[in-house]
Amino acid sequence: MVAYTSIYGETLERTAWEGRNIVLLTQSSDLDAGVMQNIVSKLDEAYDFYSRITGHIPSPYFTYNGKATIAEVQDTCGAGCGFLGLTGIEIMPEYFNILYDGVRDTGLYDQVLFYELGRNFWFYEQPLNTLPPFTTGFAIENRFLSMDAAGVDGGSFNGVEWDRLVAAVQQDMAQLYFSNPNLTWHNTLVTDSGPENPYGLGGADLAGSLLHRLYEDFGEDNYARFWQSLISKEAATTPEQARANFLAAAEEATSVDYSWLFKEGWQFKTGTADGETLVSGAKRGDYAVLGFGGNDTLRGSKRAELMVGGLGDDTLLGGQGNDTLLGSIGDDLVRGDEGADLLAGGDGADRFVFRSVREAGRGAQHDTIVDFSPDDTLDLCGIDANTRRYGDQAFTFIDTADFHRRAGELRWAGGMVQGDVNGDGRADFQIALQGVDSLNACNIVL
């Protein structure tokens, strides 16, 4: 048994269950050691997730053997109570028992402590302090992600099945927000209010849903870059400054302008959880087509627009403008068409399709893929590699070698795929692959 002084100053005797990062202090010593080992190890993994995305650890406050404590107490500031940016969490017996019994009986983990860890890792009061829903929204969204990272399934929450809760926060809140033209960031995020919904979710849940857009579009690494960039921003004294901090960090992390999350000046066409075809109606101003769930087909127009596939294996077909196409989660097909397009596949094995030299572009008008990965494919088979010969010829990949003044050569240099289709030794098209150091021929359909 070890001595523990609670948040309210009460001295207690507790049993310590020690992990790598955290120590769980319980009232009873008569607990199944295997169950407790599972709980502690999964909380350790969740702690690791929070540390990865923030690039920081909480300042020591409540500790045991130099590790963060989670203590079972009779009375604290809520079901669970965690300090902002500091170590130390308390949980009331009723809620600890829900966690323990769920793991022991069904292998399902209650969410409270994963949420409270998000409070410990909140370091963003200064850059976002005038948009308070994000403080709780950080913990709301990242409890889901930390539990995924730890490989655990959640138990029901307030009578709602876990998968339904996850979908309601991560997908439904955003869909309701973007599909309602009467909702703005001023009458939701600024006022800590959410769209009307059957679960009583509020402004913090909406903030969590908007944070999930970044994770869904670009995965954990870029999501981490967002938080690590945001922490360096100056203190916000107005909601507009907090918004500017958010958008600057998002663009630094992803190369994408995420101003559409705040809706100001934007028009939207939104899908549902089902697969469907959505055709852009862009005529003027900024226009976004958002697919959400299902295997969607999104079609562009003659104007520039934003397209986001969302969940599912989506097909994104740009138009003639300078489009931004984000496939998000799933094995997506992304085709920018004409214009200087910004393309991202997101998680999954994505296929980036170019049918002509004009679609790929060159110089200031070339297309850019911001997240090309070893699982992705660059499909160039629609481009005639040799315009001096009849028919449709395939390219020859020469890696980083200089062009040899032979039509049909494809090279990789300066972060760009470059093709010579007429044999003059100069690139007739260029496709930039951001963050890619080398390119393998097996990732190209020639």
Strands (E), 213-302: 266-270, 277-279, 286-290, 297-299
Query: Residue 18 pLDDT > 90, yes or no?
Result: yes
Asked whether the beta carbons of 334 and 353 are under 8 A apart, the reply is yes
| Mean of all residue pLDDT scores within the chain | 96
Q: Is the pTM of this model over 0.85?
A: yes
Question: Percentage of residues in the chain with pLDDT exceeding 70?
Answer: 100
Alpha carbons 197 and 290: distance in angstroms, whole number:
19
Other C-beta atoms closer than 10 Å to the C-beta of 408 total 21
Looking at residue 268, its pLDDT comes to: 96
pLDDT grade, residue 203 (50/70/90)? Answer: very high
Looking at residue 398, its pLDDT comes to: 97
AA letter at 307: M
Looking at residue 392, its pLDDT comes to: 87
Backbone dihedral angles phi then psi of residue 420, each to the nearest 5 degrees: -110, 110
Backbone dihedral angles phi then psi of residue 164, each to the nearest 5 degrees: -70, -40
Alpha carbons 367 and 95: distance in angstroms, whole number:
52
The count of C-alpha atoms lying within 13 angstroms of the C-alpha of 233, restricted to the half-sphere facing its C-beta, is 26
Query: Residue 76 pLDDT > 90, yes or no?
Result: yes
Closest by Cα among 372, 365, 337, 382 to 351? 372
Nearest 5°: CA angle at 137, between 205 and 50?
135
Looking at residue 284, its pLDDT comes to: 83
**Inter-helix orientation angle 112-120/33-54, to 10°:** 40
Read off the pLDDT of residues 227-285 as tens digits, 9 standing for 90 and up.
999 999 999 999 999 999 999 999 999 999 999 999 999 999 999 988 999 999 888 88
Place of tokens 């572009």: 361
Read off the pLDDT of residues 344-381 as tens digits, 9 standing for 90 and up.
999 999 999 999 999 999 999 999 999 999 999 999 99
Query: Residue 289 pLDDT > 90, yes or no?
Result: yes
Looking at residue 273, its pLDDT comes to: 85
